[in-house]
Amino acid sequence: MTSTTAASPGLLRQYLVLTKPRVTQLAVFCAVIGMFLATPELPDAKRVLAATLGIWLLAAAAFAMNCLIEQQVDARMLRTARRATATGSISTAQVLALSGLLGGVGMVVLYRWVNPLTMWLTFATFVGYAVIYTIILKPRTPQNIVIGGLSGAMPPALGWAAIADAVPAEAWLLVLIIFIWTPPHFWALALYRTNDYAKSGLPMLPITHGQQFTRLHILLYSIALLATTLLPYVVGMSGWLYLIAAVALGVMFVHYAYKLFRVYSDELARKLFRFSILYLSLLFAALLADHWLIMVPR
């Protein structure tokens, strides 16, 4: 009895780890921002809760499938070797059941309490990440994170669709920001995990083209990101509060990228990777604050 009780929390935690909760939280946060930007009024609370739950469940299902598909790759990498799929402590059937349950419930929630458009867009994102990115792109091309980044950039569009039952140009602008943000974010990780990725056999950019080439591309993408984040202000989607935040955060991002380009160190790459997560959270929070404090009162 004691053994079973002790084992259950450990097993549940292993299942939770497979859903990559930190990454899921950031994705859902961006989706929720999309929900609140989709309307000048406060969105319906029940729909927001249902959409958040449905998107969260399908994102978790996609990450669980990613862990299953990459179990052999994960087993060769220090960063991921302890995942239950890599160690074999959770079977293929169990992961499929977990992913199927989470994904199935998520689709029902979105279809019944949100709208079919959000369900199908979220399902397409699931397929894009779990199949197109993980199976087709990631093991075959160093541009995997660039091309496959579209699926990871979709949350704001999903959130917008949940409230407006449409995905206008403004929503795709938010998708574009995350799409441009994704390569420097992941390449910073790949730089200080180069040895790990070399063992994995994945053709990440630092492995196929070298450290200097990767650092240059991080800098170029960072500059492109700064320019892209100004577009919401240019098209009248946001006001001066967001503009100040976008410029300040973008300059900091470029500063980190430039320092990394000039003189490389693992510590700098880690700082850029960590800052990139904070950057995206603060940028989207600024969008929301601007929407309610500056744009809506007009």
> 184-232, pLDDT tens digit by residue?
999 999 999 999 888 888 899 999 999 999 999 999 999 999 999 999 9
Number of Cβ atoms within 10 Å of the Cβ of 236: 9
- Whole-number pLDDT of residue 298: 66
In terms of CATH architecture, what is 1-166?
A: Orthogonal Bundle (1.10)
Q: Which of 215, 227, 221 lies closest to 191, judged by CA?
A: 215
Contact (Cβ atoms closer than 8 angstroms) between residue 283 and residue 238 = no
- Whole-number pLDDT of residue 80: 87
- Whole-number pLDDT of residue 46: 97
Calculate the dihedral angle through the C-alpha atoms of 74, 76, 77, 80, rounding to the nearest 10 degrees: 30
User: Per-residue pLDDT tens for 220-270?
Assistant: 999 999 999 999 999 999 999 999 999 999 999 999 999 999 999 999 999
- Whole-number pLDDT of residue 7: 45
Give the separation between CA 158 and CA 211, rounded to whole angstroms: 35
Alpha-carbon separation of residue 232 from 23, 35, 41, 151 (angstroms): 25, 16, 19, 21
CA within 13 Å, CB half, 140 = 8
**Residue owning tokens 């990613």:** 66
Give the separation between CA 158 and CA 32, rounded to whole angstroms: 9
Q: Which of 209, 156, 222 lies closest to 183, judged by CA?
A: 222
Tokens of residue 194, six digits = 């180069």
Tokens of residue 137, six digits = 């792109």
Q: Which of 146, 130, 154 lies closest to 55, judged by CA?
A: 154
- Whole-number pLDDT of residue 9: 56
The CA-CA-CA angle for residues 260, 177, 64, to 5°, reads 85
CA within 13 Å, CB half, 187 = 32
Q: State pTM to two decimals.
A: 0.93
Domain boundaries, the chain: 1-166, 168-298
Point out the residues of the chain with pLDDT beneath 50.
1-7
Which residue type does 108 have?
A: V
